[in-house]
């Protein structure tokens, strides 16, 4: 199930649909089934995809979710993700500089 959720989230990110991603996370939070999705894994995959697509608005939105929905232990476990994200956007110098000044300090 996580694979299909990740695929859906990546498609939303690929189409630069911030409202669609907000609805995706709202529906994910309200998902009523016996299976509990691995939220950290889904977030991890979608954040890296947003960095790969160099989508600043979605990166900002996902950073807000990082602080909103994850407890301290989960945040520590996901910390390495943000350094990896920086290297995925290294081709876009301006976005890389913005990321370095605005995202990296938030997780130090």
pLDDT tens across 37-63, in order? 889 999 999 999 999 999 999 999 999
Torsion of CA 19, 10, 34, 77, to 10 degrees: -100
Q: What is the pLDDT of residue 34?
A: 74
4, two tokens: 């299909």
Radius of gyration of the chain (CA): 14
Q: What is the pLDDT of residue 70?
A: 93
Indicate whether 14 pLDDT > 90.
Answer: yes
Name the strand (E) or helix (H) holding 15: none
Answer for the pair 18, 60: CB distance below 8 angstroms, yes or no. no
Q: Model-level pTM?
A: 0.91
Identify the residue whose tokens are 């950290």: 40
- The residue segments making up the domain with residue 60 are 2-107
Write the DSSP symbol of residue 37: P
Number of structural domains found in the chain: 1
Q: Rounded mean pLDDT of 12-41?
A: 88
């Amino acid at each position: 199930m996580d694979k299909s959720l990740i695929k859906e989230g990546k498609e939303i990110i690929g189409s630069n649909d911030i409202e669609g991603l907000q609805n995706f996370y709202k529906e994910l939070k309200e998902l009523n089934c016996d299976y509990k999705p691995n939220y950290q894994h889904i977030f991890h995959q979608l954040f890296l995809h947003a960095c790969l697509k160099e989508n600043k608005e979605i990166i900002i939105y996902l950073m807000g979710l990082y602080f909103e929905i994850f407890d301290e232990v989960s945040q520590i476990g996901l910390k390495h993700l943000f350094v990896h994200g920086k290297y995925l956007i290294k081709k876009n110098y301006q976005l890389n500089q913005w990321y370095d000044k605005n995202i990296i300090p938030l997780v130090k």
